[in-house]
Structure formats: C-alpha cells, structure tokens
C-alpha cells in the first residue's frame, strides 16, 4: 500500500462540516486506510477581489490528510473527485487553469503518492505542482511529516517551509487534536 498525502480545503458553506464529511467519506472508501489528519488552518485565498480587503468569511479551512491505499493514482483521483461532487463541488467549463481559484465547498488534491512522480493528465500531477510554493499546504503537511522528502526537489517538508516566500496568511485554528471526529 502507498502512503498518500492529500490537501483538503473548503471556502464555501459550512467549511468545517465539509472537511469532516470529506474525511468520513475517505474513511469509507474501499482500499483506503485513514492514517491521520493535521490540525486545522484558516487560510487566506490566493486570488482576492481586486481593491477589496480579504474577508475571513471566505477564507479556506485547510488540512492535510494521510491515507494508505492500494488504489492506482488515477483511480484514487476519480474517487476524490466523486467525494468533491457529493459535497457540492461543480467543475465548470474551461481548463484547470481557468478554474484554479474558484471558490469551492470542497477541494481535495493529491500532494504526494509514495515517492512516485506522475504526470498523467491535466488534473493528475504528483507531487502536486505548486505544493512547495504554498504555505496552506506546507504548514499542515509539516505538522504530520516534517522529515518527508519531496521526490523531485530533494528537500524535506521542513526545509521547504523554512525557505517559503508565500506571504498569504495561514492561521492554525484552536481545535481539539481530533477535530475531524467531532
């Protein structure tokens, strides 16, 4: 079984409930074993409405989840997109690039799939192409696996976080350690 790290986020609706239900649905998947979830973070969106200050009501709730699975990466991606759809995510027309910053009730990205390097489609790149540039990914990932090495950059998650230049705000929320079981 491969150890897989997922970024899970929401900035529409009941963000906390969306993350809890997503984890519940991940736990219910065949050939997937839930291992852990990071603490919960409230994070500033990357794309803001020009001329307006960021509104924390539209900030994301983010975490990183660790699973183990025997599913192939493409099959896992299909399952994750099914969970997103069940929780209200609608993928509009256009390219991935066009949809990158759309608000969403749920977003699940495969960050790392074992030590594999995959570029199979527009939606499946492992490691995630931008994970090393994003505080909302690296901070919760460092909570779970600071010594994990990026399979292309050959730096640990802690090293990537220490050299990060992302100025977006990422605030750890005061939640119980097992916030996802509440």
Kindly list the catalytic residues: 89, 104, 107, 109
Q: What are phi and psi of 34, to 5 degrees?
A: -70, 135
Please, what is the Cα angle at 76 between 40 and 168, to 5 degrees? 35
**128 and 116 Cβ atoms separated by less than 8 Å:** no
C-alpha dist (Å) from residue 5 to 44, 49, 101, 102, 144: 21, 30, 21, 22, 10
Percent helix, strand and coil across the chain, each rounded to 5? Answer: 30, 25, 45
């Amino acid at each position: 079984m491969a150890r897989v790290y997922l970024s899970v986020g929401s900035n529409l609706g009941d963000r906390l409930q969306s993350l809890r239900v997503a984890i519940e649905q991940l736990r219910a998947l065949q050939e997937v074993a839930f291992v852990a979830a990071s603490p919960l973070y409230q994070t500033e969106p990357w794309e803001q409405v020009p001329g307006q200050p960021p509104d924390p009501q539209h900030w994301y709730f983010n975490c990183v989840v660790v699973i183990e699975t025997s599913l192939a990466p493409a099959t896992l991606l299909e399952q994750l997109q099914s969970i997103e759809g069940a929780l209200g995510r609608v993928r509009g027309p256009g390219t991935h690039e066009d949809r990158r910053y759309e608000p969403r009730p749920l977003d699940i990205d495969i960050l790392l799939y074992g030590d594999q390097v995959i570029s199979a489609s527009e939606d499946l790149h492992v490691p995630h192409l931008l994970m090393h540039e994003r505080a909302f990914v690296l901070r919760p990932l460092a909570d779970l696996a600071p010594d994990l090495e990026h399979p292309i950059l050959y730096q640990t998650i802690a090293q990537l976080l220490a050299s990060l230049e992302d100025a977006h705000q990422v605030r750890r929320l005061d939640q119980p350690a097992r916030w996802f079981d509440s």
